[in-house]
Amino acid sequence: DVRYKGLKPANFEDAISIVAIGRYDETARKFEADKLLVKCPSKYQGAEVKTYS
C-alpha cells in the first residue's frame, strides 16, 4: 500500500504511470509518499503503425 497525504495531481486520472517518492514504514507496512510524479501520454507520441502483408 502507498499512503500520500498531499493534493492529487490534476492529471492523475490520465496517468500511464506514477512514481511515488518517499520511504517505507516497516511498522505500518506501508510506503509513505512525499511526492507523486505523474507520467501522462505525450501529445507528441507517434500513432500506432499497422503493417499488412
Residue 42: C-alpha distances to residues 20, 24, 38, 46, 52 (Å): 20, 31, 12, 9, 26
pLDDT per residue, tens digit, the chain (53 aa), is 899 999 988 888 888 888 999 999 999 999 999 999 988 776 666 666 666 75
Q: What is the pLDDT of residue 44?
A: 60
pLDDT at 9: 86
17 vs 39: CA distance, rounded Å? 5
Which pTM does this prediction carry? 0.63
Where exactly are the structural domains of the chain?
A: 2-39
28, 22 in Cβ contact below 8 A? no
Q: Cell 503503425 identifies what position? A: 49
pLDDT, residue 47, reads 62
Determine the Cα–Cα distance for residues 3 and 34; give it in Å rounded to an integer: 9
Q: What is the pLDDT of residue 16?
A: 85
